[in-house]
Structure 1
């Protein structure tokens, strides 16, 4: 059977390095990481690229999320591509529509969309050395020399396990599946969750709804978002002064990571400074000591991802807003029933309850060497070698993979450095004419043992909270060192940690 699309031969017969052809590279996902991979690979001469995107347009989490108040809490000049600095950001912290527009502008400028198959999700990946066999939702089957998963982590919504959730008689939806067709004005609205998304939504809708119940299980540490609208003069200077944009980007990166990363990774003085700043902001924003006590966490700041939001505390003090700290017993047709027996009657119930962040590429079925499935490899908890590769899964890379650099930093910046590492590995494969690359088992184990040892020193492990950084074993599934160390590791990969092998066909 000849499986082909647009006349392309979809069955490479051997190793690309020895056949003198371009490697066929599949990229899964067209968010910031996937678009970045398309552009940077093509810039380095790798041009046989196909990106599979399950939706009808690019954007990833910035396409799927469009709730009121949506914004990024990483400064705009840092939350952008290093190769596509944008002098025209309108705000210090950009709102969702502007971020999505920027991504489209960059994709159009570099012609990235020509390599994307839209409405084409991937259901299966099977390693048939040295290629990967890829199956789409439409049933098409193709082979690729390398696969790069750029599927992100804020993808699959997490719904709360509350009795009677489906019994609610009003309208109900998750924040990541926002209903633009249902007006909130004058309605009785409830929102479950008080994380970053909930804070943004509450601040945005409190002035429009008739009444708003905010159901809080755990309070969060919140610091102000020093939002600023950039003037036309400032944007003019960014366009005309050489090096100014890059200097601002580097300063923003240093400021974010010096403030939050060091506070998380064992710098007790910095952690105390962050917590004291949050307490001062809270006291300034909420004069009422009773309400202030109810929103003060009993764990250390930076144990969870820090929230930057200036609209949430003022919204809680509006006459039409009630903070509910009683536990939720059930959802009933009329609304939400809490532990004190009260039924909070609602017209609309919003779920700002986060994502299944440990899914990564799942539910796509990924089968590596000797029939090993990625879901089985991750049975105890998702792990990776340097948040990028996996032993037993050759020629397979995952951007923003398990044990990666998350927290209060720019994932665009991190994924760019991962792409640079992938390119360095490809270049070595080409130079040495090898067909297969994968991390060595011993390197993977040593790396993860070092991570497990050092993560125990962080406030993610010692801060006394339950966060989405924790895996099923209760261990923080996150990079335990400074982001700058990770960047250096990506820019200078240690090839001795990988096995590079000539062609071995195992079909």
Structure 2
């Protein structure tokens, strides 16, 4: 249970979406501890919610799907343990970031200390007083450095590309505030749909959609001022200064990274890595950084989705063949030749700095409309048209090139052609698309 919050348990793990927005619409939570909640708290929320609504009773745990095949008008599923099932519909809610990506660095397998991927953390491995190296400086690397800089004997953060850091005050909610929310559901719901948050979502969306918008210039100014005002050493400040537009990569929210990297125990290394040796990391300037523990905050394979499970559509068509050049789906939900098969948070969906819970709920409402056609007997199969996907992809790519994601940096948002593979329009448009399915985009059989 819990997806990314199950797989990631590293020190400092924090959600970068405000807690009351990162909540199911039907299950507001008055007991969040902070504005940005810690990972274990999010995981606990999911577990409690599943138990409350008796979802656990419907789940087959520890079952790896190895085959998902459409034949004779239905989906046939098989798990690694031999369990089989037949279904009218399959909904892949496998997420995006769940297959860890390991760096291809010469000598990694020769390192004699401990090695941890951030998504496979071993809490039995000692941290305090040790020489720790962190590879990767996305949100995960930044959070780990912030959590461990004061605990390590020496912490070295290996930076390949500098990141823009957006300041945030991660305030704690008082017991009085939480009590007020428990006693006033209307107040709790108003906080969940807080106008300030929605306005920030709209502002951020406007910013990323137009690389020349006033909103992105404002975000850049705030991030730049954060760097200028937070880092005193001019040499370190220039190492930390990105050479690309703010929000071109996923914007990092942190209240304390700049403070952590200036800790006496911490060092930022921006020289490229030559190789890894048994006792540490050797950088291209010839220096050997001796380490006891190497942390790989190197992210995930963002193009996998439900793969490597074998998904086979109409007439034996393998999904791997359809996605040979890269994953795509109509409105991030449906794939031609895969009838009655839908996705939550599929390819080209909105994956910026906003709540994927909200996105998934909207997608579920859209999928439910399509399933209802079958339930009412209007058809047996619902399948996206090839023409609909083609038109969607052409329009999406044209719009994506104009976003700040396509303004000249390398990120996991980009597809094999270097085009941002995220939703390139407003959140309002996404909500409108999800509110009413356009049936002329589908074949109903």
1:376-403 CA distance string (max 9 Å, x none): 1111111100001100100101110000
Give 2:432's aligned residue. Answer: 488
Whole-angstrom CA distance in 2 between matches of 1:247 and 1:481 = 26
Whole-angstrom CA distance in 1 between matches of 2:136 and 2:199 = 28
Give 2:14's aligned residue. Answer: 71
Give 1:38's aligned residue. Answer: none
Whole-angstrom CA distance in 1 between matches of 2:51 and 2:196 = 27
Contact 1:329–1:338 (CA under 8 A) maintained in structure 2: yes
Give 1:115's aligned residue. Answer: 58
Whole-angstrom CA distance in 2 between matches of 1:254 and 1:74 = 12
Give 1:99's aligned residue. Answer: 42
Instruction: Provide closer, same or farther for how the CA distance between residues 408 and 256 of structure 1 changes in structure 2, counting only shifts above 3 A.
Output: farther
Residue 311 of structure 1 and its aligned partner are, at CA, apart by 1.6
SS at match of 1:243: helix
Superposition pairs of residues 487-506 of structure 1, within 5 angstroms:
487-501=431-445
1:350-382 CA distance string (max 9 Å, x none): 000000011000111101012211111111111
Which has the higher mean CA deviation after the structures are superposed, 379-388 or 256-265?
256-265
Residue 242 of structure 1 and its aligned partner are, at CA, apart by 4.6
Give 2:206's aligned residue. Answer: 262
Is 1:330 matched with 2:275? yes
Give 1:178's aligned residue. Answer: 121
Whole-angstrom CA distance in 2 between matches of 1:256 and 1:138 = 46
Superposition pairs of residues 78-157 of structure 1, within 5 angstroms:
78-157=21-100
SS at match of 2:119: helix
Give 1:40's aligned residue. Answer: none
1:24-56 CA distance string (max 9 Å, x none): xxxxxxxxxxxxxxxxxxxxxxxxxxxxxxxxx
Q: 1:219 aligns with which of 157, 162, 176?
A: 162
> Which structure 2 segments of 5+ residues have no match?
none
SS at match of 2:66: strand
SS at match of 1:124: strand
Give 2:356's aligned residue. Answer: 411
Normalised to the residue count of structure 2, the TM-score between the two structures is: 0.98
Normalised to the residue count of structure 1, the TM-score between the two structures is: 0.86
> Which structure 1 segments of 5+ residues have no match?
1-57, 502-507
Contact 1:190–1:348 (CA under 8 A) maintained in structure 2: yes
1:220-269 CA distance string (max 9 Å, x none): 11111221111122122223335322322222541341332211101521
Is 1:347 matched with 2:287? no
Superposition pairs of residues 222-301 of structure 1, within 5 angstroms:
222-250=165-193, 251-266=195-210, 268-301=213-246
Residue 433 of structure 1 and its aligned partner are, at CA, apart by 3.3
Alignment length (residue pairs) = 443
Contact 1:384–1:403 (CA under 8 A) maintained in structure 2: yes
Residue 425 of structure 1 and its aligned partner are, at CA, apart by 1.0
Superposition pairs of residues 14-29 of structure 1, within 5 angstroms:
none
Runs of 4+ in 1 over 6 A off after TM superposition: none
Whole-angstrom CA distance in 2 between matches of 1:190 and 1:239 = 43
RMSD: 1.1
Whole-angstrom CA distance in 2 between matches of 1:410 and 1:319 = 36
